Structure 1
Amino acid sequence: MKSKVVSQFFIAALVPLVLFGPMGIDIYLPSMASLVNYFHTNTNQVQYTLSVFLFTVGIGQLVVGPLCDRFGRRPVVLVGIVLYLLCSLAAAWAPTINWLITARAIQGLGSCCASVVAFAVVRDVFSAAQGAKMYSYLNGCVSVAPALAPMLGGILATQWGWQASFYFLAGFAALVGVMVWFWLDETRPSDTAKVHWHWRPYWEILQHRRFQFYCYCCMVALGMICSYVSVASFIMIETLKLTQIQFALCFGANALVIMASSFLLAPKLMTYLGRHRCVMLGCLLIVIAGLLMLLGFIIHGTTLLGFLLPVMLAGCGFSLILGSAASYALAPFGKSAGTASATLGCLQMVMASVASIITVQMPFSHLMSLSLVMITLAIIPLLLSKSWLGHAFPVENHSCA
């Protein structure tokens, strides 16, 4: 299909697919604190509704990619949308917290199907130059969601309760499903090998030192962000007594900082410092942010500025790490880029899930726990980069890296 003209309707059906994940995470964040009282449970149980979603999105990538190649893009994405829709309704109707956790786990698989197919379709349809622009556009759409979705979720929850966010997700899935049914054609190339899933390619990738190190750096970045997300509503709404709308504004402000640093700061620093130094600087910023957060908590306790300012600094570190580290991690695998990308994506999401669980389970305040997780995750690459990489240590021209 790469020689065909792609219609605007085709693109309109493609773009919303990448929003299933971020919408599923961010839209109900303002409601997380209220779920504790609604289900008569504790914060740990409520946090699992986020962790299991992240975990299944990650693990699902190892399976959904081969399924797309074997059965085609349309069947996989349509099944994923139906799963997402049904599980959104099941979440809204949840009578117990365990019901909600189960619904969220399966909803994560539906989200995984949608995003994997979206990026696979770009590879199928667009030329290399057009595809790069389309990937940038899709990632831009993903980065907007954390700024807007919590505000929408806060309004919905304030007016109609926490269930309204999941009803909205169900309606969103239904609308996108109709668009995909009518506008998104099958794009799998006719000569695509119907591969059978097996472990060996993944194991070979995991043995590569450069992949190990830079994949871990990506895991640091996403683990830090998702740890923050998992406790943000409890810190700002439960402890600091902000309203759901005020929480959404603060959360959106941090998302805008991350967007600005991703689009404005990171590209310039990559040019002047090189990608490896950008990764190291990003890790350093996260460690500094964690130390500032911990020091502020020890001196002043939990305060809004003592939480938000270090998180914004860590968000800049996140922006510096992710693009550079991902490009280094995938660089050695030109002939198996899809498998390497799936492995990277899976490990990032699993780390995000595990880090968010650890942050909530630690026997300290949420703010102190978050600061300790940030410091612990990010200091490892700073201490071990040369010994870990060994002969795979990158040599780059800092003026053009």
Structure 2
Amino acid sequence: MCFFTIFIMYALCGAEIDLFVPSFPELQQVFHLSPFMVELTLGVNLVAHCLTSLVVGSLGDRFGRKAIILIGLSIFTIGSLCCVYAPAYWILLLGRLLQGIGISGPAVLSYVIIADIYSVDKQQQLMGFLNGVIAFAMAFAPVIGSYVSLSFHWQGNFVVLLIMGLISLIMGILFLPASKNNKSNSFSMREYQVVLRSSKALYYISTVCFLLIPYWFFVGISPILYMEDLGVSLEMFGFYQGSMAMCFSVFSISSSYFIKKFGQRNCLFFGLFMVVIFMLATFALLVGKINDALAITLAMQLLAIGVIFPINILYPLCLDAVPDAKGKISALVTSGRLVLTAINLQIAGYIYNGTFMPIGTIMILALILGLWFCYQVFQKEKGSPYPVFASAS
């Protein structure tokens, strides 16, 4: 039941953003918001998630994973109540802030519980499955969110998040294993210095973050692009975004089979090759000034397939880059991804011109950085015993 509980928490983490983004157009009308202001409901959540993740990682290493996860889920529940009953825009922002603070507990530490129990090889298999869970949540969240919005308006999606948060909280109390306090890990931001001074750890963290950012960034900006400017209906938006996430999910869940059959190194380079193909396809869309929902969705499916193997293979290795610092490394990955996604969303909201041009440009730049950092990881791991680097020496 422990793994199933983490499964539920991962589903909540995956749905926390995607479930309510189909409500963006209605939120703009109800609260009279500009694109920048409606994107701020994502930005404030992501920044809160990011900053809290750093504290959560240190607290989890010091006081144990379970207690911090449960406190986080309690805060998330309070934030969801604020969103459901928000009479004004600032109350909605407050609720999103609390949701961001609360979700950092399960987002940062639930996988660390698995890392505490299983070997690296087993983690890589489970990572694919859990990424698939997030992707399934992302796949169904916009579809469910679209129909919930149609039937119950924007508040309905926050009710769904409230229910999911309560279920996760109850299951966490009942089934998560108690973890011992580790008094050798003091609660201080200075404890992150051991990670920040490791160039290998920083290259791993940067690789994971910059390869993930484009997908999460697109999820956040796509409702305005698709529904406001490309004329996609609410029902069709759920189909387009759901198809991208479903593609990610299916390949992620089956990634352990492909890794076992073809090897970690071959699968990693296949994923990086698909990322490059996505960049070329996106560049073609930008040069041709193509703003077609189907063409953009097909390109994004290339990215969804491409990032699976690098993330599933490298993230468990990332957690082992520095001994006895899994919680801190997980926190830095989570916070780095979220703060960079939030910054990109706000930049895009500011420069957005109703076309795919600024969105595609931001994604290409992020992936260029991700590929460069991945190259640096290989340089650092020359001679490593891990199978993915076996031929790199």
Question: TM-score under structure 1 normalisation?
Answer: 0.83
Superposed CA deviations along residues 187-244 of structure 1, whole A, max 9, x for unmatched, are 113x633632334442342343333333222222221012211221112211222222
How much does 1:255 deviate?
0.8
Q: Secondary structure at the match of 1:45?
A: helix
1:38 counterpart = 2:30: yes
Task: Tell me if structure 2 keeps the 8 A contact 1:70–1:195.
Answer: yes
> Could you tell me how far apart the structure 1 residues matched to 2:232 and 2:157 are?
19
Q: Secondary structure at the match of 2:300?
A: helix
1:355 counterpart = 2:348: no
Aligned equivalent of 1:392, options 358, 380, 392: 380
Deviates more, 1:87-96 or 1:194-203: 194-203
Equivalent residue for 1:306? 295
Equivalent residue for 2:328? 339
Equivalent residue for 1:379? 368
1:60 counterpart = 2:52: yes
Structure 2 residue identity aligned to 1:184: F
Equivalent residue for 1:5? none
Equivalent residue for 2:277? 285
Aligned equivalent of 2:208, options 218, 223, 228: 218
- Structure 1 unaligned blocks of 5 or more: 1-7
> Could you tell me how far apart the structure 2 residues matched to 1:366 and 1:67 are?
43
> Could you tell me how far apart the structure 2 residues matched to 1:282 and 1:214 are?
20
How much does 1:258 deviate?
1.5
Task: Tell me if structure 1 keeps the 8 A contact 2:230–2:293.
Answer: yes
1:188 counterpart = 2:184: no
Aligned equivalent of 2:266, options 269, 273, 279: 273
Q: Secondary structure at the match of 1:188?
A: coil
1:241 counterpart = 2:234: no
> Could you tell me how far apart the structure 1 residues matched to 2:364 and 2:95 are?
33
Q: Secondary structure at the match of 1:161?
A: helix
Task: Tell me if structure 1 keeps the 8 A contact 2:383–2:389.
Answer: no
Over the aligned positions, Cα root-mean-square deviation in angstroms equals 3.1
How much does 1:77 deviate?
2.9
How much does 1:166 deviate?
0.3
Equivalent residue for 2:140? 148
Equivalent residue for 1:17? 9
> Could you tell me how far apart the structure 2 residues matched to 1:272 and 1:75 are?
38
Structure 2 residue identity aligned to 1:77: I
Structure 1 residue identity aligned to 2:75: L
Structure 2 residue identity aligned to 1:347: G
Aligned equivalent of 1:315, options 304, 327, 342: 304
Structure 1 residue identity aligned to 2:39: Q
Task: Tell me if structure 2 keeps the 8 A contact 1:217–1:279.
Answer: no
Deviates more, 1:64-73 or 1:156-165: 64-73
> Could you tell me how far apart the structure 2 residues matched to 1:174 and 1:93 are?
17
Task: Tell me if structure 2 keeps the 8 A contact 1:81–1:111.
Answer: yes
Task: Tell me if structure 2 keeps the 8 A contact 1:227–1:355.
Answer: yes
How much does 1:371 deviate?
0.8
Equivalent residue for 2:252? 262
> Could you tell me how far apart the structure 2 residues matched to 1:364 and 1:318 are?
28
1:250 counterpart = 2:243: no
How is 1:85-100 mapped onto 2 (pairs within 5 angstroms)? 85-100=77-92
> Could you tell me how far apart the structure 1 residues matched to 2:121 and 2:306 are?
29
> Could you tell me how far apart the structure 2 residues matched to 1:180 and 1:381 are?
34
Task: Tell me if structure 1 keeps the 8 A contact 2:76–2:165.
Answer: yes
Equivalent residue for 1:3? none
Equivalent residue for 1:119? 111
Assess, with a 3 A threshold, how the Cα gap between structure 1 residues 184 and 39 changes in structure 2: closer, same or farther: same
Superposed CA deviations along residues 78-97 of structure 1, whole A, max 9, x for unmatched, are 32222111211211222333
Deviates more, 1:131-140 or 1:346-355: 131-140
> Could you tell me how far apart the structure 2 residues matched to 1:73 and 1:28 are?
28
> Could you tell me how far apart the structure 2 residues matched to 1:185 and 1:272 are?
34
Q: Secondary structure at the match of 1:333?
A: coil
Q: Secondary structure at the match of 2:183?
A: coil
> Could you tell me how far apart the structure 2 residues matched to 1:177 and 1:374 are?
35
Q: Percent of aligned pairs with the same residue?
A: 21
> Could you tell me how far apart the structure 2 residues matched to 1:74 and 1:212 are?
27
Q: Secondary structure at the match of 1:332?
A: coil
Aligned equivalent of 1:367, options 344, 352, 356: 356
Q: Secondary structure at the match of 2:325?
A: helix
Structure 1 residue identity aligned to 2:192: Y
Assess, with a 3 A threshold, how the Cα gap between structure 1 residues 216 and 225 changes in structure 2: closer, same or farther: same
Task: Tell me if structure 2 keeps the 8 A contact 1:209–1:389.
Answer: no
How much does 1:162 deviate?
0.8
Task: Tell me if structure 1 keeps the 8 A contact 2:200–2:377.
Answer: yes
1:82 counterpart = 2:74: yes
Task: Tell me if structure 2 keeps the 8 A contact 1:55–1:353.
Answer: yes
> Could you tell me how far apart the structure 1 residues matched to 2:120 and 2:196 are?
29
